[in-house]
Amino acid sequence: MKLSMKKLLPASVIAIAALLPFEAQAHRQWLLPSATVLSGSDTWVTVDAAVSNDLFYFEDFPLRLDGLQVTAPDGTQVKPENTSTGKHRSVFDLNLTQEGTYKIAVVSDGLFANYKLNGANKRWRGDAQSFAKEVPADAQDLKVTQTQNRVESFVTRGKPGTAALKPTGQGLELAPATHPNDLVADSAARFRLLLDGKPASNVKVSILPGGKRYRDQTGEFNITTDADGQFSVKWPAAGMYWLGAEVTDAKASLKPATERRASYIATFEVMPQ
């Protein structure tokens, strides 16, 4: 089966929007593969997908999988198996039939509106098609923002590959210089942040280690991309890490948005030496 993402996208936007309180900035979306470095012939990974404050605990909302796109090492799309969405998390299995690197992504592109109606503040989320139907024509102080979100993780069976890592050129994306499944504690990894396929300079990238429940501090650290959108991360210890960045600009492509907010999130596994 070939997944038609275009058709599925509006549903995903609504589903994610319904789950995310508008003020809940700290709620982080994430994908968590059971393993990221694998060997063997009949190889499977299972992936948790959730939205939570603390990483990586599925204790708040599931991440809806409508916008799920899994790219195989040869660039083709893979159909996830045993997909289910529960109270606190979504989950799916991937059969890694090919050697190389798979990109797992949950992608959405929708609209968010703020307006006043009869003096009351209103908020709305949805897709471009439903905007005209659902947002009243007489809405006052209307501000519409396009939201482009991409949540990713990577798994490799055998020798790492790069074909699946190719950016789409839309929204905020990561172009790894260091392979995302080749990350080791105490060593540096280099990445480039791209906005619509071009270097995203001077953007704050936030990084948090997992395991928050068993320590006091979040462990968050921030890095700013350079003029070429590049940044380097020195992983303080082995473990799972969450990386997030967001850009706001006036380059909205969905009407009638005047502003665009693009976000990128990825989960990386850092191995011990």
CB of 92 to other proteins, least distance (A): 21
The site map against other proteins for 139-178 (x = CB under 8 A) is -------------------xxx------------------
- Please tell me whether residue 5 binds other proteins under the rule CB under 8 A: no
Pairing state of beta strands 188-195 and 230-234? antiparallel
Binds other proteins by CB under 8 A, chosen from 7, 23, 25, 41: 41
Calpha distance 161→98 (Å, rounded): 11
- Please tell me whether residue 40 binds other proteins under the rule CB under 8 A: yes
- Please tell me whether residue 118 binds other proteins under the rule CB under 8 A: no
Asked if residue 229 lies in contact with residue 200, where contact means CB atoms within 8 angstroms, the answer is yes
Please identify, among the stretches 8-16, 34-42, 56-64, 79-87, the one whose residues bind other proteins according to the rule CB under 8 A.
Answer: 34-42
Residues 172-231 that bind other proteins (CB under 8 A): 182, 184
Instruction: Report the amino acid identity of residue 63.
Output: L
Total of chain residues touching other proteins, rule CB under 8 A: 15
Calpha distance 230→114 (Å, rounded): 34
Element (DSSP H or E) covering residue 15 = helix 5-19
**Residue 225 CB-density burial (10 A; 0-12 exposed, 13-18 middle, 19+ buried):** buried
Binds other proteins by CB under 8 A, chosen from 9, 11, 38, 163: 38
- Please tell me whether residue 43 binds other proteins under the rule CB under 8 A: yes
Write phi, then psi, for 128 (nearest 5 degrees): -60, -35
Instruction: Report the amino acid identity of residue 64.
Output: R
CB of 35 to other proteins, least distance (A): 8
Instruction: Give contact residues for other proteins (rule: CB under 8 A).
Output: 37-43, 158-160, 182, 184, 271-273
